[in-house]
Structure 1
Amino acid sequence: METLNQAVSLSEGVVLQTQRIRHQRSRGPTVVFLHESLGNIALWKRFPARVAEMTGADVLVYERRGYGTSSDERLPRPYHYQEDEGQVWLPRLLDALDIEDVVLVGHSDGGSIALIAAAALGKRARGLITMAAHTWADHLTVSGIQNMIRRYTEDGLREKFQRHHGERTDALFRAWHTIWLDEGFQKSMDFSRWLEAIDCPALIIQGEDDEYGVPEQVTDIVKGIGPSARPVFLENTGHSPHLEQPEQVLALIYDLLLIVNSREIERFD
Structure 2
Amino acid sequence: MTVFWSNQLLDMGHGMMLSIRIGKHAQQNIQRPVLVLLHEALGCIAMWKDIPEQLAAETGCDVVVYERQGYGLSSEITLPRDDDYLVEEGEIWLPRLIDKLGLNRVILIGHSDGGSVALIGAATSASKVVGVITEAAHIYIDHLTTAGIKEAVERYQDTNLKDKLARYHGERTDLLFRAWHETWLRERKSPMNLRPWLPRIECPALIIQGQDDCYGVREQVTDICTGIGARAEPLFLPKCGHVPHFEARESLISAVVKFVDINS
Verify same fold: TM over 0.5. Answer: yes
Structure 1 segments unaligned to the other structure (5+ residues)? 262-269
Structure 1 CA distance, aligned partners of 2:71 and 2:246?
A: 20
Q: Would you say 1:227 and 2:227 are equivalent positions?
A: no
The yes-or-no answer on 1:13 pairing with 2:15 is: yes
Aligned to 2:210: 207
Task: Determine the C-alpha separation between the residues in 1 that align with 2:205 and 2:98.
Answer: 20
Q: Which residue of 1 aligns with 2:5?
A: 3
Structure 2 gap ranges (5+): none
Structure with the larger helix share: 1
Deviation at residue 96 of structure 1 after TM alignment: 1.2
CA distances 1:182-230 after superposition (whole Å, capped 9, x unpaired): 1216x42100000000011111000000000000000000000000100
Aligned match of 2:69: 65
Cα distance, 1:109 vs structure 2: 0.4
Percent identity at matched positions?
A: 49
1:103 pairs, out of 98, 107, 131, with: 107
- Distance apart, 1:67 and its partner CA: 0.2
Deviating 4+ runs (over 3 angstroms)? none
Partner of 2:196: 193
2:140 corresponds to 1:136: yes
Residues 217-256 of structure 1 show CA distances to partners (whole Å, capped at 9, x for unaligned) of 0000000000010000000000000011111011111111
Partner Cα separation in structure 1 for residue 84 and residue 157 of structure 2: 28
Shift of 1:6: 0.7
For the residue of structure 2 that corresponds to 1:122, the secondary structure is coil
In structure 1, how many angstroms separate the alpha carbons of the residues matched to 2:165 and 2:66? 19
Mapping of 1:1-269 within 5 angstroms?
A: 1-23=3-25, 24-26=27-29, 27-184=31-188, 187-261=190-264
User: Does structure 2 retain, via aligned residues, the 8 Å contact 1:210–1:238?
Assistant: yes
What is the TM-score of this pair, normalised by structure 1?
0.95
Structure 1 CA distance for aligned equivalents of residues 173 and 204 of structure 2 = 36
In the alignment, the residues of structure 1 paired with residue 65 and residue 238 of structure 2 have an alpha-carbon distance, to the nearest angstrom, of 27
Query: What is the CA deviation profile of residues 26-70 of structure 1, one whole-angstrom value per residue up to 9, with x for unaligned ones?
Result: 341110000000000000111111010001100000000000010
Secondary structure at the aligned position of 1:5 is classed as strand
Q: What's the CA shift string for 1:125-157, capped at 9, x where partnerless?
A: 101100000000000000000000000000111
Deviation at 1:74, TM superposition (A): 3.2
Check the 8 A contact 1:79/1:188 in 2, yes or no. Answer: no
Q: Which amino acid is the alignment partner of residue 188 of structure 1?
A: P
Q: Distance in 2 between matches of 1:64 and 1:183?
A: 24
Q: Would you say how many aligned residue pairs link Structure 1 and Structure 2?
A: 260
AA matched with 1:131: E
Residue 77 of structure 1: CA displacement?
A: 0.6
Question: Considering only aligned residues, what root-mean-square deviation do their CA atoms show, in Å?
Answer: 0.9
* Equivalent residues of 1:29, 1:58 under 8 A apart: yes
